Amino acid sequence: MDASLHAELFELLDITGQDATECANLLDTPPTKPVLQAMEAMQERLGAFPADSIQADGSTQAAGSVEMVWIEALLRFAPSVHAYHLELGISPAVSGASLADLGLQLRINRRVHGSFGLDTWSWMTLHMAGNLFRLGRLQFHIIRAQDQRSNWVLGVHIPEDGGLSPALVDASFAEAGSFFPKYFPDKPASEATCDSWMLDPYLVERLPESNIASFARRFTLDRCTDAPTDAVYFTFRQRGLHDLDKLPRGTSLQRVVLERIDDGGTWQLGHGHLAL
């Protein structure tokens, strides 16, 4: 199908190029039962503030088939999320910036695998619950807190498409500080949390003057858990730890990521919080 027939949807989701053609092909026929079931699952979560993404259900379908089902379901369901945002009074610009992560994730998938697909489809189901927003440089996910420090918390996520200068991060937190009290006044969040390999203390130690280290130091580190492949994936967009000798070492970050593994170390997720 001609992608231009879906131009408004693809502009909302920032889907471009060959990805737009492939997505148009998925929308060319009526949705199958699995697609409708996926949409129903997302509808049940819309406005319910879930903390977790939808996971694969153990279906015997091949992974690629599952991805296609969820890509189509995400495409078909996104207008409902956009309408939900607008009903809350949220601007089309913020809603669009939030949902545009779908197009970004499709482009990342093409870089990682060399083909159309979405191995991060589960991550995108968080956006479709209507409580994850891109505000400037960062994404904020308002959810119920898992501890006793507050009732609601903002989970912070870091899209790949930009730097992490202190000014950009400050502006993003400032926008969040006015956005959530305005649109979710009955869900006051006094704390933000972040779970990321960027909060691994090793990275702060090795690159203390970097923007990543500056970002990490904003958070009080609560604990760390092993995540051997995360640093490689987010630095090089490679799944797994194979052929590390073939990866570039042109930047200080690339060198630090690979040298730690060369030395027998293991990258971790840092789990931290900060007061808003």
Provide the CATH number for the domain around residue 190: 3.40.630.120
- How many Cβ atoms from other residues are within 10 Å of residue 153's Cβ? 24
Residues 166 and 33 in one domain: no
Distance between CA atoms of residues 92 and 185, nearest Å: 20
Closest-CA residue to 168 (of 215, 218, 130): 215
Phi, psi of 77 (to 5 degrees): -90, -20
**Structural domain span for residue 32:** 1-130
Tokens of 111: 């870089």
| pLDDT value at residue 58 | 62
Residue 60 confidence (pLDDT) above 50: no
Residue, of 3 and 52, whose pLDDT is higher: 52
| pLDDT value at residue 91 | 98
DSSP-derived pairing of the beta strands 220-226 and 138-144: unpaired
Residue 248 confidence (pLDDT) above 50: yes
Residues 93 and 146 in one domain: no
Please identify, among 108, 130, 152, the residue that sits at the C-terminal boundary of a domain. Answer: 130
Please identify, among 97, 130, 163, the residue that sits at the C-terminal boundary of a domain. Answer: 130
| pLDDT value at residue 61 | 63
- Alpha helical stretches, state H, the chain: 7-13, 17-26, 33-45, 63-87, 92-99, 101-113, 121-127, 166-183, 201-206, 211-216, 230-236, 252-262
- How many Cβ atoms from other residues are within 10 Å of residue 23's Cβ? 25
Residues 182 and 57 in one domain: no
Residues 6+ apart with CB under 8 A from 57: none
Residues 123 and 232 in one domain: no
> Do 152 and 164 form a contact (C-beta atoms < 8 A)?
no
Residue 256 confidence (pLDDT) above 70: yes
Mean pLDDT of 243-251: 95
Please identify, among 95, 130, 165, the residue that sits at the C-terminal boundary of a domain. Answer: 130
Residue 249 confidence (pLDDT) above 80: yes
pLDDT tens per residue, range 167-187? 999 999 999 999 999 999 999
Percentage helix, strand, coil, to 5, in the chain? Answer: 50, 15, 35
Residues 148 and 194 in one domain: yes
> Do 199 and 219 form a contact (C-beta atoms < 8 A)?
yes
Closest-CA residue to 198 (of 257, 111, 142): 257
Residues 18 and 96 in one domain: yes
| pLDDT value at residue 5 | 75
What pTM does this model have? 0.94
Residues 271 and 175 in one domain: yes
Residue 2 confidence (pLDDT) above 80: no
Closest-CA residue to 109 (of 28, 196, 19): 19
The number of domains in the chain is 2
Residues 70 and 1 in one domain: yes
Residues 6+ apart with CB under 8 A from 185: none
pLDDT grade, residue 30 (50/70/90)? Answer: very high
What value does the mean pLDDT of the chain take? 94
pLDDT tens per residue, range 150-163? 689 999 999 998 89
Task: For tokens 């400050």, name the residue.
Answer: 170
* String of DSSP letters for 117-162: --TTHHHHHHHTTT-EEEETTEEEEEEE-SSSS-SEEEEEE--SSS
pLDDT tens per residue, range 82-105? 999 999 999 999 999 999 999 999
| pLDDT value at residue 146 | 79
Residue 56 confidence (pLDDT) above 90: no
Residues 94 and 144 in one domain: no
Residues 61 and 153 in one domain: no
| pLDDT value at residue 199 | 98
